[in-house]
Structure 1
Amino acid sequence: MEGIDNADELDLSSLVEKTHNINVPIGHIIASQKWKNSELHHALQSNVQVLFDDNLGVVDFFPSSKLGIVYISEPELVTFSGQKKKLAKLRKANRVQAVVLAERTATSGQYFPEVQKFCLMDLGFSIIPVPSQREAASILAQMVVSESHLNANPFLRRRTCHVDETLLTTMKSIPGLGGVKARSLLEQFGSIENICRASHQDLSKTLGKAGAASVLKFLQRD
């Protein structure tokens, strides 16, 4: 058994080692080969240029060179132990800023809060619930556009450096939450973890009651 565990550790280490030195052209997204011809791929390619690479390790998508997206499917969310090890290894390696997209459905929804807590509290990874691959494609496309604007305008990146741009990209993917309010939330609370812990009253000061309710619903805190 120990030999098997050691082999698993070696396999995970080799996968994590691949998550660096990724060069993503502006306006493109690099996807793991396993996503080719999937529903997500077809939805994504209508908005951005998709390049494939079979050597991305545990990361599924790179919307920019420094931002790696890990996709947790419905079955993986239900049986999370395998993905948990991969995410922990990725965090330990600290080679890429990671965001998790988790497929939260009627079947897997009951398991989402535990996974959300692990990603946010234990690893410090942003996590976004998505109902389907098509919705995930829309969020990924938004990330590509956001990162492209920042890379094309270095002055904008310097001017906004007090807010983590990865967190800003993640927050802007919440339906109905634009860049201005997303930035205000991050400036006020400092992290997505703190936003998740905030009360409806606290969020209402920045978003109004309806906006606060929408964010809490998205984070499954309603």
Structure 2
Amino acid sequence: MEGDGPGGTGPVHVPFGYIVASEKWRGSQLAQGMQGKIKLVFEDDLTSDFYLSNRSCILYVTEADLVAGNGYRKRLVRIRNSSNLQGIVVVEKTQMSEQYFPALQKFTVLDLGMVLLPVTSQMEASCLIVQLVQEQSKEPSKNPFLKKKRALLPLESCLLRTVQQIPGVGKVKAPLLLQKFPSIQQLSNASIPELAQVVGQAVAQQIHTFFTWSG
């Protein structure tokens, strides 16, 4: 398989069942947490932190990245603008970085329309990434909200998790919402009456508030 290559100029070959990881993660707690569960290949000068397949990659925002400022934004935009990559953003949401999380959430989910998954530690992140690779190897789901063009199993799973994070939604209402509004953009643009038809007036108001929050 091939993805966006080193420096964004060439292909990254991702063998089935492997993850291609940026060299900077070698020896990290994140990489160590994946050892024995998935096979890792390390390469230099990658645009993303981890490549799960030819079109699916993970950009990892550490606690330090979040506290340091908005340096992560260029990388997110670069992946978002790529014609052949679906980016999943994983961020360390800790007690120290929690105050900076809403700005990242707004930029990632609202401005870029990308999926965002918070984790509390690199060990939690390693389990999440392994799970995404395992899900990728399964048969594609036939759920109607997964008919999105170029949809990938890891992206579908992350999209579902992202919607579950919206206040009042949870695991039951998220699939119902995605049947009606199959992307972050469509969901964020839905009116309260449209949302209320799916989840009721109270939750519809919570969703609308979430997406119109200006930070």
Using structure 2 for the length normalisation, give the TM-score.
0.71
Query: 1:17 pairs with 8, 28, 38, which one?
Result: 8
Alpha-carbon contact 1:16-1:89 (below 8 Å) kept: no
User: Mind listing any 5+ residue stretches in structure 2 that lack a counterpart?
Assistant: 165-169
Asked if residue 86 in structure 1 is aligned to residue 75 in structure 2, the reply is yes
Report the residue type matching 2:158 in the other structure. T
Deviation at 1:78, TM superposition (A): 1.6
Asked if residue 70 in structure 1 is aligned to residue 55 in structure 2, the reply is no
Structure 1 residues 172 and 141, CA, compared in 2 at 3 Å: closer, same or farther?
farther
- Tell me, in whole angstroms, the C-alpha distance in 1 between the residues paired with 2:183 and 2:121: 26
Structure 1 residues 74 and 42, CA, compared in 2 at 3 Å: closer, same or farther?
same
- Matching residue of 1:100: 89
- Tell me, in whole angstroms, the C-alpha distance in 2 between the residues paired with 1:123 and 1:45: 32
Deviation at 1:53, TM superposition (A): 1.3
Report the residue type matching 1:17 in the other structure. G
Deviation at 1:147, TM superposition (A): 1.3
- Matching residue of 2:111: 122
Asked if residue 162 in structure 1 is aligned to residue 147 in structure 2, the reply is yes
Query: 1:136 pairs with 114, 125, 136, which one?
Result: 125
Summarize deviations over 1:86-112 as a string: whole Å, max 9, x none: 222332343411111111100101111
Secondary structure, aligned partner of 1:85: helix
User: Mind listing any 5+ residue stretches in structure 1 that lack a counterpart?
Assistant: 1-13, 207-211
Deviation at 1:138, TM superposition (A): 1.0
How big is the alpha-carbon RMSD for the aligned residues of Structure 1 and Structure 2? Answer: 3.6
- Matching residue of 1:45: 35
Alpha-carbon contact 1:101-1:129 (below 8 Å) kept: yes
Alpha-carbon contact 1:27-1:144 (below 8 Å) kept: yes
Summarize deviations over 1:117-157 as a string: whole Å, max 9, x none: 1111222221111111011111101110111224xx7xx68
Report the residue type matching 2:147 in the other structure. H
More helix by share: 1
Deviation at 1:193, TM superposition (A): 5.2
Secondary structure, aligned partner of 1:65: coil
- Tell me, in whole angstroms, the C-alpha distance in 1 between the residues paired with 2:41 and 2:61: 20
Q: Matches of residues 173-192 of structure 1 in structure 2 within 5 Å? A: 183-192=175-184
Alpha-carbon contact 2:20-2:52 (below 8 Å) kept: yes
- Matching residue of 1:10: none
Secondary structure, aligned partner of 2:71: helix
Structure 1 residues 160 and 23, CA, compared in 2 at 3 Å: closer, same or farther?
farther
